[in-house]
Amino acid sequence: MRHRAALAALCLALLCCGARAQAPALSASDVWVRATPGSEVAAAYLTLHNGGPQPIVITGVRSARAAQAMIHESSVAGGHSRMRPRQRLRVGAGETLRLAPGGLHVMLQGLTRPLTPGEEVPLLLLLEGGASLAVTAHVRALGED
């Protein structure tokens, strides 16, 4: 009887650990960054989709190609354009969120070297709860949207 109870407890523990270790239901597509000759900053864009039943919150971003990476939002109000950092992005269950020119984007500052068209830039999206999503942005030439 004790063996059955111990086996049941072990199975339950493994199931719990497996559920916690599962990758989030967040996926990314159309991941790109615009080449900015002579600049130490660049903006990356992507489309995020949450295929899961729970909201997913992005709490930050990192890139090996930049000293700093953060989520920003551009807007125009009263004829003036503004850009402000966003600490968190929420992607609801079943929702798609597009980061695109003129709106939400990933700002890369302090690039390790200039970006050239055709290159790839690694991005790591940090998710609430400790998970992350690694994506690769393809560098496009200026004017190639």
Question: Of the candidates 70, 88, 86, 95, which has an alpha carbon nearest to the alpha carbon of residue 127?
Answer: 88
Looking at residue 9, its amino acid is: A
Residue pLDDT, tens place only, 36-56: 888 999 999 999 999 999 999
At residue 80 the predicted structure's pLDDT band, cuts being 50, 70 and 90, is confident
Tell me the chain's radius of gyration from C-alpha atoms. 19
CB atoms within 10 A of CB 121: 23
Residues 2-23 pLDDT 10s: 544 443 444 444 444 444 444 5
Give residue 24's pLDDT.
Answer: 63
Q: Domain boundaries in the chain?
A: 24-140
Could you tell me the sign of the dihedral formed by the alpha carbons of 125, 41, 68, 91, in that order?
Answer: negative
CB atoms < 10 A from the CB of 43, how many?
18
The predicted pLDDT at position 12 comes to: 42
Q: What pLDDT does 71 receive?
A: 96
CATH 2.60.40.1890 fits 24-140, yes or no: yes
Long-range contacts of 11-14 (CB under 8 A, 24+ apart): none
71 C-beta neighbours (distance < 10 Å), count: 20
SS (H, E, C) the chain: CHHHHHHHHHHHHHHHHHHHHCCCCEEEEEEEEECCCCCCEEEEEEEEEECCCCCEEEEEEECCCEEEEEEEEEEEECCEEEEEECCCEEECCCCEEEECCCCEEEEEEEECCCCCCCCEEEEEEEECCCCEEEEEEEEECCCCC
- Mean pLDDT, the chain, whole residue set: 85
Among 17-21, 59-63, 81-85, the range of highest mean pLDDT: 59-63
**Both structure tokens of 141:** 């030439």
